[in-house]
Amino acid sequence: MLDLILQQAGVSEPGFARKTVKWAITCTADGHYTGVVALGDGKGRSFDACPNLSQPELVGGSGPRAHFLIEALPTVALYLDEKLENKEREKFSAKHNWFVNLLRQAAKNAPYLEIAANLLADAKTLALIQTDLKQAKAKFTEAAVVIVGSINPPEYDDWRDWWRGFRASLRPPKVGGGKLMRCILTGEAVEPVATNPKIKGLAGVGGLSMGDVLAGFDKAAFQSYGLEQAANAAMSEVTATAYAETLNRLVADKSIKLGSILATYWFTSQDKIPDEDEVMAWFSEPPEQTAGAAERRAHELLTAIRTGQRTNLANVRFVSLLLSGAAGRVMVREVMQGSFEELVAHTEAWFRDLAIVARDGKELAHDPKFLAVAGSLVRDLKDLSSPWLQQLWRAAINGGLIPAATLAQAVTRTRIDIIQDTPASHARMAIIKAYLIRNQGDKNMKPHMNPDHPHPAYHCGRALALFARLQRAALGDVGAGVVQRYYTAAAQTPGLILGRLAGNAKNHLAKLDGGLAWWYENQLAAIMSHIGDFVPRTLTLEEQSLFALGYYQQLAALNAGK
């Protein structure tokens, strides 16, 4: 897996990392403070090759240390939470002083940094900065940089040589007694790095905000042959930096949050795949947000590959990692890989199987996001099971079966919505349909109502929908109607319920004018003819899902008009 990540590595150098900056503290070229400015949209603006210290370098001194140029607001501007205790305030004050001192040292190579240092060392200016940050509702975890005039330091190179030399003076002692070891990735004889860099971006899936370790050996149980720390999986500092920085970029730029799991992905291609062809992203944000767009686009792309129109995509492969955090460590749940052509084919099949008529019956519902499909089965996204999510993602990416537990959840949530008179979830009805197609081999299941479906359970659901609509036509809104009172029993034991509803239907028909009564009689007769001579006494779970889809699609057909 590390080798697959390393194959995507670009130019990287120890002591440098990509960082995201939310706030710019600005001043004129002569040091006059001009305010704080939010950078970029959302979380901020990312800069490549920013100065960066490893965790051992940060904690290796006799006092608190800080990163250079870019740091969190408590360190840069002493922007602190009022609830902090004095001990924590003293710690941030020491880190602030370290940060300012680094700016002064680097000013020998980059004179504008002296102006930035003077700005942050002035108590009155700091008070103004803190006030402006509070008004802007800045978060304490967000990072900042000082922009002097038109100079944004991360975009300049004049401080880099100084930084390389300064960082070299902080390096912790080498592990393994300074002996060379064989790198597990490159096979070269290297002096192993003491600890591997941390992987960031997993805070939303169980990770720590400060980052998590992918290859760590901090406990004796993880160590062998008397080796300490990362010497147990020897890598040079260059290699460790390369894989960590590459994975950090993938997590930031190429990932999809699946509840408690993060799916990061990439493509093994010399040429960059155009954004419009990155089908993996469609699971997070389907293209165009229109009915059938994802399936249509995938079909066009697949056809272009197979007919030789897109030869540049013919030999491309994809890799997807399912990641989460656990006690400060990166948990790699699964590694998926395959050809890009297969991925496109499975994407087309996924959205085709999920295609379902909208509630109004006039067109197909919009292509659902993956998380919308998963979330339709639970009350809260926190209730989603990681192993189940992993199986469902595998079904989407690899074209396999949908997890068995899906159907029971979908049928239960559908029943709850109907009883509570809540609008049906398009995503939930879509996953029921996809389950029947993939797991049960139901080739008769269509996006719209299929009056010729061979299973009586489907038509029992249609019958209940028609009985409910007939009651409304005859009596108007009577509160708890046929559906709220009888859906649960009808979906499980239709043989005991539908006969009673058919008897009540005669009374409702008598209240309608001749033409409308005749229309309802014909509709009911057609449905009953498909059920046959015997209404099923009980329905299995799979048959209950057919009942639910028959009910939903019949209602959609009625909503669409005659």
How far from chain centre, in Å, is Cα 82? Answer: 34
Tokens at residue 97, please?
């002083």
Stretch 365-373: mean pLDDT: 93
Query: How many angstroms separate the CA atoms of 253 and 266, rounded?
Result: 10
| Residue 266, beta-bridge partner list | 319
More confident position, 291 or 296? 296
Stretch 76-81: mean pLDDT: 95
CB environment 149-170: b (16+ within 10 A), e (fewer): eebbbbeeeebbebbeebbeee
Query: How many angstroms separate the CA atoms of 429 and 141, rounded?
Result: 41
Q: According to the model, what pLDDT value does residue 226 have?
A: 75
Tokens at residue 130, please?
């803190």
pLDDT band, residue 562 (cuts 50/70/90)? low
Tokens at residue 556, please?
């959609």
222: pLDDT strictly greater than 80: no
How far from chain centre, in Å, is Cα 304? Answer: 29
Stretch 1-26: mean pLDDT: 87
What is the model's pTM?
0.82
pLDDT band, residue 453 (cuts 50/70/90)? very high
Query: How many angstroms separate the CA atoms of 377 and 229, rounded?
Result: 43
Stretch 7-23: mean pLDDT: 86
Tokens at residue 43, please?
């979380």
Stretch 168-173: mean pLDDT: 73
pLDDT in tens, 393-406: 999 999 999 999 99
pLDDT in tens, 312-365: 888 899 999 999 998 889 999 999 999 999 999 999 999 999 999 999 998 999
List phi, psi (to 5°) of 323: -120, 150
- Terminal Cα-to-Cα distance of the chain (whole angstroms): 57
